[in-house]
Amino acid sequence: MKGQSRESIWAIPPRWRLPYIALYWVQWFLAMYAVVKFLSWLHPDYGRSEVVEAAMAHIPAVTALGIPATFTLMEVIQRLMVTYDYLMNKYVRPLQERQRAEGREQGLAEGREEGREQGRAEAKAEFRQLVSEWNQRRLAAAEHNEPFDEPPPLLENGDAQNG
């Protein structure tokens, strides 16, 4: 299967691994902070040490709820990263490559046209030289009263150039 590389949808692209892990821990600590704030709101008569003690007692619950919530959010973020990479590889990068190729082709086409123009100019100059030499031989023959039956130079298509 040429051109069909496989990649797990669960895989995190290497360039996204550090932000992924950092975001996981930030979310976990935010979940803990949310529990502390919730307990402070739920029990306004608790002091700081009592809220922290209650939060420590709720760590299993936070872990039971926070980790799946964190993983769910991380999976959404991972899917977004994989989707971003997929869209970049499927649409954006080929478009950029096509535009580069078109630019190269346009440059080559311009170079070809310049080459053609230069070739035409050289061919005209060469033909003028041939006509000039032919005319000098004709005039020299006329000056010496010699017969001159050489035909004029022809273009590549067999016609004599006018003008």
Report residue 1's pLDDT band, with 50, 70 and 90 as the boundaries.
Answer: very low
Q: Domain boundaries in the chain?
A: 14-107
Look up residue 159 and give its two tokens: 């016609």
* pTM greater than 0.95: no
Q: Give the angle subtended at the CA of 37 by the CAs of 35 and 39, to the nearest 5°.
A: 70
Give me the pLDDT at residue 4, please: 57
Would you say 35 and 73 are in contact if contact means Cβ atoms under 8 Å apart? Answer: no
Backbone angles phi, psi at 6, to 5 degrees: -110, 145
Kindly tell me if the per-residue pLDDT of 66 is higher than 60: yes
The answer on pLDDT for 146 being more than 80 is: yes
Q: What is the pLDDT of residue 62?
A: 67
Q: Under a CB-based contact definition with an 8 Å cutoff, are residues 70 and 27 in contact?
A: yes
Contact 16, 81 (CB under 8 A): yes
